[in-house]
Amino acid sequence: MGRQIDTIGVVGLGTMGAGIVEVFARNGLSVVAVEVSESALERGRATLAGSTDRAVAKGKLSEQQRDALLGRVDFRVGLESLAEVDFVIEAVPEHLDLKQQIFASLDRICKPSAILATNTSSLSVTEISVATHRPNQVIGVHFFNPAPVMKLVEIIKTVVTEPEVVADVEALCARLGKTDVTINDRAGFIANALLFGYLNHAVSMFENRYATREDIDAAMKLGCGLPMGPLALMDLIGLDTAYEILDTMYRRGGRDRRHAPAPLLKQMVTAGLLGRKSGRGFYTYEKAGSPVVVGTSWEKDASVAGRPIATVGVVGSGTMATGIIEVFARAGFEVLSVTRGAEKSVKVSESVKTSLNKGVVRGKLSEAERDAAIGRITWSTNLDHLSDVDLVVEAVVEELSVKKALFASLDEICKPGVVLATTTSSLPVIECAMATQRPADVIGLHFFNPAPVMALVEVVKTIRTSPATVATANEVIARLGKTAVGCADRAGFIVNALLFPYLNDAVKMLEASYATADDIDAAMKLGCGYPMGPFELLDVVGLDVALAIQRELYLELREPGFSPAPLLEHLVTAGYLGRKTGRGFRDHTHR
């Protein structure tokens, strides 16, 4: 039989604390909301009132429910008001000494049976707990912002937290309608441990001028379906908060260099560029606290004109090739499809026509548009027929020797000035370029699968790619109705360079028995708004594909933290490749 929890204490009424008060009060619990001064208390009261008023305006609460909710909250100054609560949670700034002072006071004030919880997102719960004489009753309960909306709660137990306390807190979270994941006290817990390494990597990309802020953010939103790009998310979190979390994770998490805050981040914090809260961070906002971005976004260089493109050759017979053929034909380009052998040509033709027919059935295009697209496609098995096209896009197997041989052939066949593009997702574009005598005309156009659906194309320039070739690529992608993001020729480009280390980190987390695959997936979906958890995504992508890309990243960057997780290597060796084999991190044979 668990302890009865009826009265809640919340210490600190900033955005997070006020949100936690609302969560408890919405679910029928009495709350004593505590601040350090009358002015801070009034700000917290106003924050709660504003949130509940918005909920009424949106139809999420009735006026009667709002009034009942507010009636359950007792606003007080000083910790002494918490003497009789059953459970208290602090939500003060992320400073260990401040939290320890509060817990020492709570230990003295609160009744012996009270559970003491911290909402810390990165500090050691154990170090906080030792400020009390009851560390066995101290626990981490990490809500996500905004607390009334986000479904995830991370429950962090220390080595001395009583199992009964953990069970009582899990039951409390269930009463709140939250999904909890229970983990041990390690740096960053689950969500932040995976999220902030990715965010810091994105800052380093921007700092090194590898890609623009807009292109980095667009790449992750359009390429991975994330609700926000990493730099916009940093602005929302607050660059000072992000810096503190990264610094804490670096010091507590084995001093992994990927968690060492990027120098640019420290400079921006020092300069007071804290993100939305200050009105300026990676982006400039209408005013402090506003989500409205002002100022012009980075534009493609309009001073260089692209070459006219009317006819496009597509080399390859796989899913990516068929998707690219459809995309160009639907956009009005004349397309020449070249495959190796008549049988593959027929297969590609049938695949394209089937996809276009599905588009008609789904109302995405008319029968006339379908017929016109099909009429623009010519089928061939002879590379020599590419002699008169304006652009060649290769989509053959991801083997460097095969691509280099193809580009050498294209160099001999194609007329001068033709843009030669590779769709590689991981191989060096410069290797393809240097297989020709025209490296200035070679560029990477990394389409995402399925090409007719995905709106993103990474435009990858090498150190030899001419400005005219880049301009031509950007103009072509615009005609396709897709978003072009530019980057330099480095392993993984933007999306894969940010995505796969995150997936690799999740595997290492599982390998260390830090949390289960289900809990890690739930944490990232519910805590960060990701459309899929890392293990769900790995099974879809293919563990062998993930391992190959991670190896490329590690070989190029030589960053120890990028070394492929041994568990990933072992699973691939054993033939556990994900959905394609029916077994990966989960069993798909009966699904």
Catalytic residue positions, numbered: 121, 142, 154, 192
Q: What is the three-class DSSP state of 577? A: coil
In sequence order, the β-bridge partners of residue 76 are: 34
CB 407 within 8 A of CB 436: yes
Which pair of tokens denotes residue 24? Answer: 């408890």
Q: For the chain, first and last CA: distance in Å? A: 38
108: Cβ contacts below 8 Å, ≥ 6 apart: none
Q: For residue 541, which amino acid is it?
A: V
Residue 328, judged by CB atoms within 10 A of its CB (0-12, 13-18, 19+), counts as: buried
Burial class (CB in 10 A: 0-12, 13-18, 19+), 589: exposed
In whole angstroms, give the CA distance from residue 123 to residue 15. Answer: 19
Sequence-separated (6 or more) residues with CB below 8 Å from residue 330: 356, 365, 369, 373, 452
d(CA 432, CA 418): 15
DSSP of 264-329: HHHHHHHTT--BGGGTBSSSEESSTT---EESPPP---TTSPPPP--EEEEE--SHHHHHHHHHHH
Express the helix, strand and coil content of the chain in percent, nearest 5 each: 50, 15, 35
Residue 277's alpha-carbon distances to 240, 244, 461, in angstroms, are 10, 16, 36
- Tokens representing 43 are 């700000």
For residue 488, give the H/E element and its range: strand 483-488
Rounded to whole angstroms, how far apart are CA atoms 155 and 153?
A: 6
In angstroms, the CA 103 to CA 110 distance is: 10
User: How far apart, in whole angstroms, are the C-alpha atoms of residue 476 and residue 269?
Assistant: 40
CB 547 within 8 A of CB 569: yes
Give Cα separations from 160 to 122, 125, 130, 184, 403 (angstroms). Answer: 19, 11, 10, 11, 58
Length of the chain equals 591
The DSSP 8-state label assigned to residue 271 in this structure reads: T
Q: Which amino acid is at 59?
A: G
Cα distances (angstroms) measured from residue 251 to each of 237, 558, 561: 21, 22, 15
Question: Which residue has tokens 């280390």?
Answer: 501
Round to whole Å and give the CA distance between 517 and 277: 35
Question: 78-110 b/e with 16+ CB inside 10 Å = b?
Answer: ebebbeebbbbbbbbebeeeebbebbebbbebb
